[in-house]
Structures are given as C-alpha cells and as structure tokens.
Structure 1
Amino acid sequence: MKEYYRIGETADLMGITTQTLRFYDKIGLVKPVKIDPRTGYRYYAYEQFHFIDRIKYLQSLGMPLDDIKEVMLSKKVERLLPFLDQQKKVLEQEEKKIRHQIEMVDWYKDYFTYMERNEDAPCVMHLKERYYLQVPCYESDLLADMEIRLAKEKSEQGIENAMYLRQYGYKISYDAFCRQQFKPDYYFIYLNEKVKDAPNILRLPEGEYLCFREKILEEAWNPQRIMNYFQGKAQPKLMLAMEYEDNLDNYAHANYEIQILLEKN
C-alpha cells in the first residue's frame, strides 16, 4: 500500500473531481497531508479516504457542506444525529411538495381531457364538496372587468398564497339561462384547499348535479331540454357554468359544463 496518493489518484479512487478536493481544502474540510514545495502537488493518505467517503454519503442525503464540516471536525456521532433529524424534516417537506405537484399534474391532465372523456348528453353526476373564491358580477361588466376584480381579490392580504386550481366558472341564474341571456351573478375560481377566515371563499355542497355542456360565451344555446327536465319540479337554486379550456389561445372559445345542483327528494 502506498503511503501517499496524489490528488488525481485520490479523486479517481473516491469518485470525485480534483476541483472538489481543492474546494474541500479551501474550506478546511479535508486538507492534503503533504504539499510538494517544489511542484505544488497535493498528496493524501489512505486514512483520509474514509473521511472523504463519509462526506460523500452525507452530501447524498442533502446535508450542506457547512453542517458536514461542523459534524466531521467534531468527530462525534452525537453531533451528527441532530443534523440527520433536521435533514429528515427537510426531505419530508420536499416529499410533501413533490406529492402535491404530482397531484396537480394529474388534475390538469384530467382538466384538459375532461370534455374528450365525457359525453355531451345531459347526465347526473355526484360531485364532492369544493371551495372557491368569488367576486360579484354587475350588469355593466365586460368579461375583463370580472377578470380584474377576481385578480384583485386573489391578491388580498391573507389569501394571496392560497392554492388555486386553473378552473374558472360563473354562478348563473336559471331564469337568465332559460332566456338565453349570459348574466352571471358571480365569477369564481376553484381552490385546491379551504382557506380559513376569508369571507369571499365559499363552499359548493357535495351532491347530485345535472351536468351538460354549452359554449355560453360565443353562441346561443337551446334551453328547451333543461326546461323540459325541470317542468313540474322546483326551480334549481344553484347553477354553475364551469370552464373547460380546449385551446391555449382564446378562452372565449372554451366549452362550459353547466352544473345544476339537484334538490334531494
């Protein structure tokens, strides 16, 4: 066994770069045991290999070099354990974030393919409880007015960091719909989770909804089939128009799914 190993040999044996070893030297983490005064070559001893290997596996756990240096120079396992506990918490938070991102990817895949997977004919669907942020709509509003009002509401103190889903919708009245008039009462956006103590964040109840699609922003619709459905029945109290984008250019061309909450018998 050799007594000393040049920096290049050490780097090859340990699976790291010479630049990494030089950086370890610079920060005082691993210093060469000898430097040739004539050539400037750095030399390392076999006994340092285990030290370098520990640094590598602690780095693989995501520990910062400053923390690794503090632990390694102490030479005490007792100093390492609190750092491992802290790093576990960091990784658990990252895992939670990644799981949420995966859920959001699945949600958006479902959102953009929803219309392809569901028939145009009216059907009754059971929908779970949902939360949304809404703003009122007024008679004189243009679509841009509603958008800007909702954007301002989203930036309000206390809810600016809420988790929104990229789905917008309108609360509309049954009477206006039957008259073929687009006069929404409220404009809203879905939330991924409930936000506490926010007056304009409301709940859509779980229940059975009559669902069908219309392009309510660009064409006239025939309300007769829905009027026939509710003939002799109580007029619905909750009617939504949910946007489903089928292009990335003009939301005015989007399909809307009309969702009408059915009263329990």
Structure 2
Amino acid sequence: MKERYSIGETAALLGVTTQTLRHYDKMGLLKPRHIDSGTGYRYYAFDQFHYIDRIKYLQRFGLSLESIREIITTGSVDKLLPFLQQQKKSYQKELKKIMDTIENIDWYIDYFTFLNRNQHCDNLYKVWLERRYAICVPGYPEEYLHNMEVRLAAAKARSELKDLNYLRQYAYLIDFNKLMEKKFWATQYLIYLKEKPDFPTEYLCELPAGEYLCFRARILTNDWDVPPLAKFFKDTAVPQVVIANEFEENLKEYLGTQYEIQIHIPRNQK
C-alpha cells in the first residue's frame, strides 16, 4: 500500500483543493503526516483520509471549521452530539421560516387569481369562511379614507405589532343599513393576519366563522349597485358583520378595484 500521498493527490482523491488542505494545516485542524525538509512538500497518509472526509460531512451539517477543530481535537463523540443537536434546532427553525414563506406565497397566488378563478359567480352567492383575525382601526362618518389608512399604518408600526405575520389584504367593516342605501360607510379599516397574536391588543379584530352572503362591487367608485338584499334579510336581525374585502386587479391603483362584500348570515336566517 502506498504510504504517502502528495497534497495534490490527496486533494484530487478527497474532492478538496490544495488551498483547503493548507488552511486545515494552518489552523491546526489537520496537519500533513510528513513535510519534506528540503522542498517543503506536504504528504498525507491513507489513514488521514477519513479525517478529511469527516471534516467535509460535518461542514455539510453547517458546523464551522473552528467548531470541527474543537470537536476532532477531543476525539469524543460526546463533544460532537451537542453541536449536532444545536445545528438540528437551527435548521428546524430555518425550515419553519421557509415553509411559512411558501405558505404566504401560495396565499398571494390565490389572492391575485381569485377574481379570475371565480368570475362566473351569480350576482349573490354564499360561502363558508373560517374565523379570521386582523389588525384594525376605527372609521368615522364622512372622513377621508386616507385618514383610516394613516391610522392603520401607525398601528402596524407599533413595537408590539410590527413583526406580526400580515397578509396583504385590506378590508373595511361597513354599515349594513348604509349599504342598503347604496352608501359606503366604513366603521373599521383592517388588514388580515395569518394567525391570532399570542398577546392581547386593542387593535385585534376577530371575524366570526360562518356562512356569508356575498356579491362584488367597486365600492370606492360611483359605478356600483346593491343586489336585492332586502328580500333576503326580510324579517330577520340586521347583520352585524359586513366586510368589504379588497382584491387588487393591478399593481398601480386601487380606487377602482373590485371588492367582495361578505355579509355574515345570522343563524336564524340560514
């Protein structure tokens, strides 16, 4: 069996560079078995190959060369395990972040294709919606809408709210009686959350699960009408939850965009 392998041979066999092996030597991670005193050439022994291979696979787990040097110097598996467990936790955290991002991308794809996928809905249609959460601010009669937008932006910027997982869909809670008069009166302005915050806040809005009667309208323009809702809600309690959900049709302006009006149906009306 060959006793010595040059640094070039070792690098080629183990899939590393000669610069990498020199760096291992310099930091005390792995020194050549023999250095020619005359030429300064480095030579490695076959039984050192598994150390190089071990360094490579530990690097694939995300361990730094300094951590690997600390572990290999002791030669103890007990020293290695805490590093691996910590790396596992780190990758699990990173994976969760990636999966959350993928879920959010899927949500946005659904959001931007909603109108095209559901363009054959009747004038009035029903949908079942799960409980939803949002950060909201109040609206006041006859105020400019941008005042509500500024208040919501200020709320989102608060230290306890700025890092929540927002879904970029804005909506209004609107007054049912005004809606019946074809008047738009926003009682609250909100932006949806992916999940309920794990702390209390006065800005939290909770929208009930249940069946909603829906129609579409461009409520921020004068070009919209109200379908025959009066007949549907005759002899029943006035709906307390009426939501106007924005669905962007382009990325330049929003005043003319479509809204899905969602009217929570009282239980005795179902």
Q: Same fold (TM over 0.5)?
A: yes
- Does 1:217 pair with 2:253? no
> Which residue of the partner structure matches residue 130 of structure 2?
128
Query: Structure 1 stretch 214-223 or stretch 200-209: which is displaced more?
Result: 214-223
> Which residue of the partner structure matches residue 252 of structure 2?
249
8 Å CA contact 1:171–1:185 kept in 2: the answer is yes
Query: Structure 1 stretch 123-132 or stretch 228-237: which is displaced more?
Result: 228-237
Q: What's the CA shift string for 1:180-221, capped at 9, x where partnerless?
A: 222211110011111121111121111111111111123432
Aligned partner letter, 1:185: T
Alpha-carbon distance change, 152 to 44 in structure 1, aligned in 2, over 3 angstroms: same
> Which residue of the partner structure matches residue 198 of structure 1?
201
CA distance in 1, matches of 2:97, 2:186: 36
- Does 1:113 pair with 2:116? no
Query: Structure 1 stretch 246-255 or stretch 145-154: which is displaced more?
Result: 246-255
> Which residue of the partner structure matches residue 264 of structure 1?
267
> Which residue of the partner structure matches residue 182 of structure 2?
180
Alpha-carbon distance change, 137 to 38 in structure 1, aligned in 2, over 3 angstroms: farther
> Which residue of the partner structure matches residue 142 of structure 1?
144
Correspondence list, 1:6-21, <5 A: 6-21=6-21
Percent identity over the alignment is 48
Runs of 5+ consecutive residues of structure 1 not aligned to the other structure? none
Alpha-carbon distance change, 78 to 264 in structure 1, aligned in 2, over 3 angstroms: same
Alpha-carbon distance change, 47 to 128 in structure 1, aligned in 2, over 3 angstroms: same
Query: Structure 1 stretch 46-55 or stretch 139-148: which is displaced more?
Result: 139-148
Aligned partner letter, 1:135: V
- Does 1:164 pair with 2:166? yes
Q: What's the CA shift string for 1:43-91, capped at 9, x where partnerless?
A: 3222211001111111112222222111111111111111122122112
Q: Look up the SS of the partner of 1:252 in the other structure.
A: coil
Q: Look up the SS of the partner of 1:251 in the other structure.
A: coil
- Does 1:68 pair with 2:68? yes
Alpha-carbon distance change, 238 to 11 in structure 1, aligned in 2, over 3 angstroms: same
> Which residue of the partner structure matches residue 90 of structure 2?
90
CA distance in 1, matches of 2:188, 2:161: 19
- Does 1:78 pair with 2:78? yes
- Does 1:236 pair with 2:215? no
CA distance in 1, matches of 2:181, 2:26: 78
Aligned partner letter, 1:102: I
Q: Look up the SS of the partner of 1:157 in the other structure.
A: coil
- How far off is 1:144 after superposition? 2.7
Runs of 5+ consecutive residues of structure 2 not aligned to the other structure? none
Alpha-carbon distance change, 254 to 182 in structure 1, aligned in 2, over 3 angstroms: same
8 Å CA contact 1:244–1:255 kept in 2: the answer is yes
- How far off is 1:8 after superposition? 2.1
- How far off is 1:40 after superposition? 4.2
Aligned partner letter, 1:191: L
- How far off is 1:38 after superposition? 5.0
Query: Structure 1 stretch 31-40 or stretch 112-121: which is displaced more?
Result: 31-40
Number of corresponding residues: 265
CA distance in 1, matches of 2:257, 2:17: 54
Q: 1:227 aligns with which of 211, 227, 230?
A: 230
Query: Structure 1 stretch 37-46 or stretch 6-15: which is displaced more?
Result: 37-46
Alpha-carbon distance change, 35 to 219 in structure 1, aligned in 2, over 3 angstroms: farther
CA distance in 1, matches of 2:26, 2:109: 49
